[in-house]
Amino acid sequence: MGIIRFILAVSVVLGHSSPILGYFGIPAHAAVTLFFIISGFYMGLIATEKYTGINRFKAFYSNRFLRLYPTYLIAVVIALAVRYCCDQIEMKGSGSFFPSQMSWSARLFLVIPNISLFGSDWVYFFHFGPDSGWHFSLGGNAPDVDTVRASRYLLIPPAWSVGLEVWFYLLVPFLVQWRTIFVVGVAVISFGIQQAMEASIPWSSYFFFPANFGYFLIGVLGYRFYRTDLFRRYATKKNVNVIFFAVLANLILRQYIPYYRNYPWQMYLMFSLSLPFLFQASKNSLWDRWIGNLSYPIYIIHAPILIYLEKHFNSKDGLLTLSLTLVISIIVLVFVDQPLDRIRQRRIDRVNAF
């Protein structure tokens, strides 16, 4: 599913910058949701099949750390360099990164997610005004004209979704042992929370892990179906290839399909049902895996690149943002991610040897 992950990452970049010749792919919020579903599938797979030794918990968590944080910290360094080059981004009420009226405890609250990723989702629940202070807005609109969303003080604003991934990773080694009926039940509860929040405050559920947990669990359920005899019965080479290319075309051309393009739930349903077939079609492709591994650095690194272009050139050009992001992401993949991936694999082999 590497090519699909790549398309989703590119869609997020275009959604945050600007379309290229009118093309934007998939709306950024929908692309992020599909990432959650894919993550659920992959984590269900590796936590079940790859981490089986007595030290599997320690190995799983430490390998997830090696997967997420080196690339994230590179993006943080780039973001700090961008802010320095731009003489710091001007904030409401202050010319420095944090307004002078902000207390040290509040600054610490913002520094922790900037460094650790933990809590990068929580920041979106608050607004801050230099005069009015903090407001708990649950992801909704600004409660006052002098306030800004606290995510303004994140070095990598899109990292909120990685923050949700972190909560999911903490649960994965345990939830793969849950009975399927329990997984289904928790997913239903999660979507119930989501609908209740959206009915109260639109978009409030977008940054809230319990309201998004169901998407991860859909991926886990997709993996469990992948292991069944029923799937193997229908997973002929012809069926797998037809479904893969049909879904690929559906994602790429979504913005041109009337009615369908206006309702993301239809895409979520289609994608969820086809997930095991998509994995089957691409699991042995090295080039697909390579291009898929670009998705994470693209997703994380495009944010400071876009800030730089906006501040220095007053531009949100999608093609330029994507091009610069791709160049840096390929460098990070080749010289950081791939060497670390080999280390992670050796650690898995050692754990499973006991």
How far, in Å, CA of 154 to CA of 300, rounded? Answer: 12
Output the pLDDT for position 87.
Answer: 61
Rounded to two decimals, what is the model's pTM? 0.94
**Do 69 and 170 fall within a single domain?**
yes
Q: Averaged over 188-204, what is the pLDDT?
A: 93
Per-residue pLDDT, 93: 38
Tell whether the model's pLDDT for residue 91 goes beyond 50: no
Residue 217 has pLDDT above 70, yes or no: yes
| pLDDT tens by residue, 221-275 | 999 999 999 999 999 999 999 999 999 999 999 999 988 888 899 999 999 999 9
**Residues 277, 337 within the same domain:** yes
The pLDDT score that the predictor gives to residue 4 is 97
Q: 51 and 118 share a domain?
A: no
Long-range pairs for 136-139: beta carbons < 8 A, 24 or more residues apart: 138/197, 138/201, 138/204, 138/208, 139/201, 139/203, 139/204, 139/205, 139/206, 139/207, 139/208
Residues 189 and 278 in one domain: yes
Q: State the residue range of the domain holding 72.
A: 2-83+158-352
Give the model confidence (pLDDT) of 96-105 as tens digits.
577 777 888 8
pLDDT digits (tens, 9 = 90+) for 144-156: 778 888 898 999 9
**265 shares its domain with 317:** yes
Q: Stretch 119-123: mean pLDDT, rounded?
A: 92
Residues 175 and 268 placed together within one structural domain of the fold: yes
The answer on pLDDT for 2 being more than 70 is: yes
Q: How far apart are the first and last CA of the chain?
A: 31
Q: Please check whether residues 207 and 338 belong to one and the same domain.
A: yes
As a whole number, the mean pLDDT across the chain is 91
Residue after which a domain boundary falls, among 129, 157, 185:
157
- Which of 137 and 251 is assigned the larger pLDDT? 251
Give me the pLDDT at residue 221, please.
Answer: 98
pLDDT at 16: 96
Query: Looking at the structure, do residues 94 and 178 belong to the same domain, yes or no?
Result: no
pLDDT tens for 290-319 read: 999 999 999 999 999 999 999 888 999 999
**pLDDT digit string, tens, across residues 174-184:** 999 999 999 99
- Picking from 124, 140, 157, the residue at the C-terminal end of a domain is 157
Is residue 95's pLDDT more than 60? no
